[in-house]
């Protein structure tokens, strides 16, 4: 099975929450190759805390930048360019959850996008999507971009208040399975994440 590349329809949709859930529920390792906004804390630290895994199971970033901006701009501000060839899969025998930065068309340098990183790492894509108004357009655009890049799609995971109409619309018009839903969680820890996976996910999609 290929590694899972978690992307989102936009920034702040819940990629890190979904990543932590998959790590906790499926006993996977975690890696965020490019981290921006490190001055406010890293997603690696969040996943370690929420998924309750050992530190060595969350692998160090290939690139890490302090400003909370797009990777290409963060690199420019530091006077460097992100080189995709330097982003090499960590030496682990476990399947990885690889978290992208922002959405699939976020640029990582003057020529390449997050989509190119997913293709470089030969992953299957999981799309984190909101349940709220506007999600159909954002999700279908993301799916179209992933398909144009000829990447495998595991499915869409919707996050937020349940909205069955939007679930069905995404599946119908995107011709893609909604493989999970993450409702509002009163607390986020290993136990609640594993429970949410059992209750609200198509577990066979990740087997």
Q: Report pLDDT for 193.
A: 98
pLDDT band per the 50, 70, 90 thresholds, residue 96:
very high
Return the percentage of the chain with pLDDT > 90, whole number: 98
pLDDT level of residue 106 (50, 70, 90 thresholds): very high
pLDDT over 90 at 1, yes or no: no
Q: How many CA atoms lie within 13 A of 12 on its CB side?
A: 3
E-strand ranges in the chain read 4-8, 29-31, 34-35, 58-59, 63-64, 96-99, 124-130, 152-159, 178-182
Whats the size of the chain, residue-wise?
Answer: 207
Where do the domains of the chain lie? 4-206
Q: Would you say domain 4-206 falls under CATH 3.40.50.300?
A: yes
pLDDT for the residue numbered 11: 86
Residue 80 has pLDDT above 90, yes or no: yes
CB neighbour list of residue 72: distance below 8 Å, 6 or more residues apart: 82, 106, 107, 108, 109, 110
How much is the average pLDDT of 172-186?
A: 97
Res 207: pLDDT? 83
Question: What does the alpha-carbon distance between residue 2 and residue 4 come to, in Å, rounded to a whole number?
Answer: 6
Confidence (pLDDT) at 133: 94
Whether 32 sits among the annotated catalytic residues: the reply is yes
Is residue 61 over pLDDT 90? Answer: yes
Encode pLDDT of 118-160 as tens digits: 999 999 999 999 999 999 999 999 999 999 999 999 999 999 9
Mean pLDDT across the chain: 97
- Catalytic, out of 32, 78, 94, 198: 32
Look up the pTM and report it: 0.97
- Confidence check: pLDDT of 6 > 90: yes
Sheet holding 96-99, edge to edge: 58-59, 29-31, 96-99, 4-8, 124-130, 152-159, 178-182
pLDDT tens for 8-27 read 998 889 999 999 999 999 99
Q: How does DSSP classify residue 164?
A: H
| pLDDT confidence of residue 137 | 97
> Is residue 116 classed exposed, middle or buried when 0-12, 13-18 and 19+ CB atoms within 10 A define those classes?
middle
Residue 22 has a CB neighbour count (10 Å cut-off) of 27
């Amino acid at each position: 099975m290929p590694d899972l590349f978690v992307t989102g329809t936009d920034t702040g949709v819940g990629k890190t929450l979904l990543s932590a859930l998959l790590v906790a529920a499926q006993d996977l390792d975690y890696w965020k190759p490019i981290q921006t906004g490190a001055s406010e804390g890293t997603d690696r630290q969040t996943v370690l805390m929420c998924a309750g895994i050992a530190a060595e199971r969350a692998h160090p970033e290939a690139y890490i930048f302090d400003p909370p901006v797009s990777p290409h701009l963060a690199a420019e501000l530091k006077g460097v360019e992100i080189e995709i060839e330097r982003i090499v899969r960590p030496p682990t025998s476990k399947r990885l959850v690889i978290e992208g930065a922002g959405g699939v068309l976020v640029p990582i340098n003057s020529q390449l996008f997050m989509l190119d990183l997913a293709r470089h790492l030969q992953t299957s894509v999981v799309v984190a999507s909101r349940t709220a108004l506007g999600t159909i357009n954002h999700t279908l655009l993301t799916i179209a971009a992933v398909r144009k890049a000829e990447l495998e799609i595991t499915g869409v995971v919707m996050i937020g208040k349940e909205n069955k109409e939007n679930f069905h619309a995404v599946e119908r018009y995107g011709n893609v399975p909604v493989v999970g839903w993450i409702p509002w969680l009163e607390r986020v820890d290993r136990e609640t994440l594993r429970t949410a996976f059992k209750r609200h996910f198509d577990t066979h999609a990740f087997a």
